[in-house]
Structure 1
Amino acid sequence: MIFKLPISFLLASSLISSACVNVSASNPSVKWELLSPDIYGTGKSVGRFTVNGLDSISRLCFTQLPRGMRTLSAGDSIVELNAGYYYLTSPKFGTNSPQAIIDVEYTWDINADAEQPVSFHALTPGNRIIPVEASLSPILESSLSNPEWSEWTIAPDSLYRLNEILASGRKPGPFDIAPSFKRVKLTKGTFKSGDKISTVIVKHENPEYYRITLKPGKALIEGASQKAINMAKRTLTRRLLEPNGGTIPCAVIEDWPDYPYRALMIDIARNYQTPETMHTLTELMADYRLNTLHFHITDDEGWRLEIPGLPELTEIGSRRGYTTDSHDRLPHIFSDNPTTADGFFTRRQFIDFIRHCDSIGIQVIPEIESPGHARAAIKAMEARYRNTGDDTYRLIEPGDTSVYTSAQLYHDNLMNPALPSTYSFIAKVVDEVEAMYHEAGVKLPGIHIGGDEVPDGAWDGSTSAMKMAKERGVSGRHGLHGEFVRKVGRIMRDRNIPIFGWQDIYTGYDDEYHTEISPLVGGVNCWVSSLDPEKNVAIKGINSGYPVILSNVDYFYMDMLYMPHPEERGLYWGGFVDELQALSGYPDKLCPPQKDPKGRIIGVSGQLFAETILSKEQMEKLLFPKSLGLAERGWNGTPTYTPADFNILIGDKELPRLERLGVTLHVRAPGIMIKDGKAYINSPYPDAEIHYTLDGSTPTESSPLYTGSLTLHDSEKEIRAAIYKNGYRSVTTLLKR
């Protein structure tokens, strides 16, 4: 069942800049815990902040996914400085009181660890920022006691039955990998690491087609392009020989992808990832024959690429700190991990990165969000204007009285489509990005312009926008948005650069618009699913002439929770996505074939938005093994592995391989069933360990190892269990008797 909230909740993150923090030997401290939803009789989630060291603070600041909050104690108050950034005040702050307890009621429930407050810090009476020692209580019990959440929680006995099915898959052979080969024919003998490999280019209609012929002592790789040959060689050495001890049976492997576009979208705007981390990730993408990195490098919460001539974009747009005006940095919306705080790719780092990606068969499509999701760019260009008086690249109109709220609760994140300076800015950024690709010696495959989530009320109070609308004969937000896409499309057309965008760039427009725009488009990401042909935006796209990329939220959003459980990381507004859900995202199901379509489905894309990602490890855990289902569907559009066979493949081969490479992994949860007075616990992986407790404590590797059914005593009212596999732990399955 899909659980959807009214809006997407976004939380960018960073650390307090060292320049803004005064480290004291006696910092204040805070403990946050989630109380029973019925403690005040309202049925709402309540967070309790227990604050110590009150004499040194005037405000307690923190970040949290926007939830709508109000204090429940007399005299206390809470203020939202920016979407997801808050401060608390209390009459006890700045006094010698021993402690302040502040209860905050949330409009929406707090159900998962990623929704807890993070990055606590305090403002002193002298307006200095000081760190706060924070502790967060686990929310497992309070979440599972919430009846609204339990409607979507997988019951322990349902997990048990699912695990029975998933553990029944076929044991994989040496040529079973993800994504799977089209054809494998075994022959006689063995092939070993170090044996001779020769290559030759052959003609084939699919440029990524290859054939590997393995014979004793030698191999021949035939490919339709050098890229196909390189991919085949990588597959042979890294995916077949290495995991199988350097020796595999001789065979003839014939393989090709069903779709030319197989992508991951990685967001480093909201939480930064370094060039080194992205280098490692793209190597893994190449291993799984994903060939496109959709690089989300700008958004409301950050600008992560150096642009020569516009230093403010990174001097301000890549920095976080305490501010009420965003004049020299963006406001505090940050995590507890310094590696995801401030940062950007320098021009040289980006050139080296795209050159590396090209060498392993991955094209990089940078996303420059516009006209929405542009707060970082807007604030940076406003600082440029204030400091220099130069309005060449200004993105907003002075005196614009428009009132709007974006999906992420921003009120100041829209470029103005009527200003010539807006298009001067876009042209400048596009030219500098193109110059980086030219210097790298890599063809620029296109630039993603975003184009999504322009809210109602956009530009209603802009004199220039209203004048533009009248001159163009369009009306309102949608009409002005279309004019923006037209003008940006022409900028890109003049430079022979394809544009990519979200589905918003074509939905709701007429045939005249499509005739102009569709030839300029390299791909459109469609993220909304619908079985109703009248509501299926992918069908609308291909019938209007666009190359469509299936990016469905309920199949391919990597930032969704693996399963409905409070210990899982991620969001759940669009449903729950694991490797098996991604595996079931068949393109013909998501966009049924149409008669005489003008466009086509070019592939699939998995999206990893970084609202809740506070480290490299959390990024990897959300991607692996979830992205392997995506890779299978991008390479093979028709059924290959059953869910059980795919699960066993992942457990037997892919997780161990990824663990050897140092990748942080997600493992599935155990199931629990009580039958005839005994408790049974199972795992979807036959070789995994299950540890359990019966006393209410959290299972660890030191807890009893499950080896068979458990006889329960009357005093043992709950069973907790966790799986340990390849050095990683699952979430806790809890069964209450």
Structure 2
Amino acid sequence: MKISLIAAFWLLIWVATWAKPPALIPAPRRVVWTNEAFRLQGLIRVLTPNAQARVVADSVVAFLRQQGTKAQTVDSGSAQAGAQVVLKLEPMGAFRDKPEGYSITVSAKNIQLTAATERGLFWAYRTLQQLVQPGPPPSLAGCQITDYPAFPVRGLMHDTGRSFITLDTLRAHLQQMSRYKLNTFHWHLTEDLAWRLASDSLPQLTEAIHMQRDPGGFYTKAEVRGLLQFAHERHIQIIPELDMPGHSAAFRRATGVDMQSEPGKKWVKSLIREVCALFDAPYLHIGTDEVAFRDSTFVPTMMGVVRACGKEVIGWYPGGKMDSLAIRQLWMSARKPLPGMRVIDSRDLYLNHYATQADLISLFQRDFCDVPEATPRHLGAIACIWNDRRPASTAQLERLNGLYPILLTFAERIWRGGGKPETQTGVVLTDPAAFAEFEDRLLTHKRLHFSQKVFPYVRQSGLHWRILGPFPNGGNLSASFPPEEGNLHFPAVSATGATVYMRHTWGPSVVRAYLPDPKPNHTAYAYTEVYSPKAQTVGLWVDFHNYGRSEKDAAPPAGAWDHKGSTLWLNGERVPPPNWQQAGLRPQNLEQPYQNEPYEAREPIAVSLKPGWNRVLLKLPVGSFSTPEYRLVKWLFTCVFVRREGAHWETADELIFSPEQSPKKL
């Protein structure tokens, strides 16, 4: 009887363990789950074929030891009985045309990782890390995986020219990039505010007196070499950017000359040679955007210097005129790439403009470079964070830009490819089942791997709304319409999400939102019914503007939610806004950080829900789409009930959001 009970106990553990397969991000091209499990206990031999694979083998051994095993590396010729992990490099095998591709087979006693290159083996190891199932003892889920990326360039850009970011922070971000198979770090090192890279030929560039933000913050060459080694070990290439000849006021302050002057060009040539000698990537990014050219020879001259150093040129597009050999990084949707142009996509990939909850949906659904997968001309994409508005801290930079949830979503889409143009899908959830499946994986990673990190994303696939109107308000943002009196019987648009755009920041010609033809001087309403199983107090995240991290957005006036007259009612009672720490602030420059204006930066409002159905109604007026308070008016709302779970806020999952008062959870 005792044996039977023990067997039944372990059967229940096995069933619970296998109720769901591991949450893999990015999802592999092909995965077949089996009913086997590789137990992480005792001695495990890791067999490596040659020195090239030894580095990956050492990483596998370290990972297995962290799980409590006695793993050790052995030569492939010394195989013995017992649990083992075999690494195989097959340059002419199945992945000969896919240098980052790999396969994994996990059975009860054996694991095999196969790839054509060391990088492919490394990505196999990164997937292996995500296969851990809880114990005791822990195990690796039995499976057969075949995988490779859709695009060769999968990256993140940090603007350290404007705001200095410490090496510890950069290493932390590179570590997470590598975990999710992002392989490119675009390092924007120079700006009007500061020049952050030490120079032997022009040491005055990094003197604190010439820096207008974070004086004294720069990177020595030794520190750069250390970060390059850190990135190399994680199979990330670092592409440096020296922005020229625009965004270079710091250069002008330090040297007393403009880059386009004759002495300026001489110094720039010297700096290019220094940087090319320091960095090992085959590229140098030279910027060339947002500047008036007085010297038509500047760009071709500097391109020639870069190429003489054995590097390829990358430049922004639109930007300076370059030949067809240059790679262009796209940043403006209105300017289509020219025929034959090699491109990296950063259009609508500026995280500093993202409303995390809604734009994450758009990112999950979109394509890159207007193609489903790479071609010789379509290389991939880089997500960018611009720090025009001074961040209060690294945590605020991560929180307001939704760095980690956006990074994981970007990693999923850029690895797998596919997607549709944002004009077709955008922030409108078009495939609820696919998104809900991804959201489950994303929140699993939040729980398992980001429990002590900033991760401002909550479940939203079950939050359903109706949008009424919009009603013409003639420019009177306080005008009242029938929904305020309880009349909700108007044609409605269904919407889903914790943040819902009526009109996206860039308008429907760039990103689709929920209103098909949004116009200024209108008032929309959104409502839902929220079922609570009991009377309870919960937190409420609510906002009516997304505060741009590169904008001089004004703080709301005291007693108001925003500068548009937005209003929220819960069960007919108006919900008052928080006490703003900078009420009424209209910043004259970009040096005043946000405080509690963004909802992510403040405690949720405590509200009471009654048992049964609770009505939420939001008034959403808009005047012009550009005002003195907001250069970029965001016609949106954020509204979600949350509670604290550990270090994070999470959606109050027992609630049902249903405008129709449907009794079942959607």
Q: Does residue 584 in structure 1 map to residue 388 in structure 2?
A: no
Asked if structure 2 preserves the Cα contact closer than 8 Å seen for 1:691 and 1:722, the reply is yes
Match for 1:601 among 348, 372, 378? 378
Match for 2:113 among 221, 227, 248? 221
Q: Does residue 435 in structure 1 map to residue 268 in structure 2?
A: no
Asked if structure 1 preserves the Cα contact closer than 8 Å seen for 2:528 and 2:616, the reply is no
Q: Does residue 615 in structure 1 map to residue 495 in structure 2?
A: no
Structure 2 CA distance for partners of 1:713 and 1:260, relative to 1, 3 Å:
closer
CA RMSD of aligned residues (A): 3.7
- 1:448 — aligned with what? 285
- 1:681 — aligned with what? 530
The CA distance in 2 between the partners of 1:660 and 1:713, in whole Å, is 31
Asked if structure 2 preserves the Cα contact closer than 8 Å seen for 1:172 and 1:649, the reply is no
Structure 1 residues 166-565: aligned runs within 5 Å: 173-193=20-40, 194=64, 196-202=84-90, 203=92, 204-237=96-129, 239-241=130-132, 246-315=138-207, 319=208, 328-331=209-212, 334=213, 342-382=216-256, 395-396=257-258, 415-416=259-260, 419-437=261-279, 443-455=280-292, 458-459=293-294, 465=295, 480=296, 483-505=297-319, 517-519=323-325, 521=326, 523-530=327-334, 536-537=336-337, 540=338, 543-544=339-340, 546-553=341-348, 556-562=349-355
Structure 1 residues 715-726: aligned runs within 5 Å: 722-724=641-643, 726=645
The CA distance in 2 between the partners of 1:493 and 1:724, in whole Å, is 55
Match for 1:703 among 606, 614, 635? 606
Match for 2:539 among 674, 682, 691? 691
- Secondary structure of the 2:217 match is coil
Structure 2 CA distance for partners of 1:626 and 1:690, relative to 1, 3 Å:
farther
Deviations 1:204-242 (A, max 9, x none): 2110010011011321100110111112112212x2227
The CA distance in 1 between the partners of 2:610 and 2:188, in whole Å, is 47
How high is the TM-score relative to the length of structure 1?
0.54
Structure 2 CA distance for partners of 1:631 and 1:330, relative to 1, 3 Å:
same
Structure 2 CA distance for partners of 1:205 and 1:295, relative to 1, 3 Å:
same
The CA distance in 1 between the partners of 2:19 and 2:314, in whole Å, is 39
Deviations 1:602-655 (A, max 9, x none): 11111111123332112222212112222122111125982232223223x122
Report the AA paired with residue 606 of structure 1.
Answer: A
| Shift in Å, 1:423 | 3.1
- Secondary structure of the 1:265 match is strand
The CA distance in 1 between the partners of 2:458 and 2:236, in whole Å, is 28
- 2:435 — aligned with what? 643
Asked if structure 2 preserves the Cα contact closer than 8 Å seen for 1:186 and 1:252, the reply is yes
The CA distance in 1 between the partners of 2:289 and 2:135, in whole Å, is 46
| Shift in Å, 1:270 | 1.0
- 1:87 — aligned with what? none
Structure 2 CA distance for partners of 1:676 and 1:286, relative to 1, 3 Å:
same
The CA distance in 2 between the partners of 1:604 and 1:243, in whole Å, is 35
Deviations 1:493-533 (A, max 9, x none): 11111111111346xx6xxxx6xx333x3x32112225xxx
| Shift in Å, 1:702 | 8.9
Report the AA paired with residue 351 of structure 2.
Answer: M
Q: Does residue 728 in structure 1 map to residue 660 in structure 2?
A: no
Gaps in structure 1 of 5+ consecutive residues: 1-170, 320-327, 335-339, 383-394, 397-414, 438-442, 460-464, 466-479, 564-575, 684-688
Asked if structure 1 preserves the Cα contact closer than 8 Å seen for 2:458 and 2:650, the reply is yes
Report the AA paired with residue 278 of structure 1.
Answer: L
Report the AA paired with residue 656 of structure 1.
Answer: R
| Shift in Å, 1:341 | 5.9
| Shift in Å, 1:436 | 2.6
Structure 2 CA distance for partners of 1:260 and 1:680, relative to 1, 3 Å:
same
Asked if structure 1 preserves the Cα contact closer than 8 Å seen for 2:103 and 2:115, the reply is yes
Report the AA paired with residue 412 of structure 2.
Answer: E
Gaps in structure 2 of 5+ consecutive residues: 1-17, 41-63, 65-82, 420-430, 467-482, 489-526, 541-569, 579-601, 618-637, 658-666
Asked if structure 2 preserves the Cα contact closer than 8 Å seen for 1:558 and 1:577, the reply is no
Report the AA paired with residue 395 of structure 2.
Answer: E
The CA distance in 1 between the partners of 2:576 and 2:528, in whole Å, is 15
The CA distance in 1 between the partners of 2:135 and 2:643, in whole Å, is 23
The CA distance in 2 between the partners of 1:505 and 1:702, in whole Å, is 45
Counting aligned pairs with the same residue, the percent is 24
Asked if structure 1 preserves the Cα contact closer than 8 Å seen for 2:100 and 2:148, the reply is yes
How high is the TM-score relative to the length of structure 2?
0.59
| Shift in Å, 1:682 | 7.7
Asked if structure 1 preserves the Cα contact closer than 8 Å seen for 2:530 and 2:615, the reply is no
- Secondary structure of the 2:351 match is coil
Asked if structure 2 preserves the Cα contact closer than 8 Å seen for 1:363 and 1:445, the reply is no
Asked if structure 2 preserves the Cα contact closer than 8 Å seen for 1:301 and 1:375, the reply is yes
- Number of residue pairs matched? 437
- 1:665 — aligned with what? 456
Report the AA paired with residue 378 of structure 2.
Answer: I
| Shift in Å, 1:709 | 3.4
Q: Which has the higher contact order (CA 8 A, sep 6+)?
A: 1
Please say which of residues 259-268 and 692-701 is displaced more in the overlay: 692-701
Asked if structure 1 preserves the Cα contact closer than 8 Å seen for 2:157 and 2:185, the reply is yes
Structure 2 CA distance for partners of 1:702 and 1:630, relative to 1, 3 Å:
closer
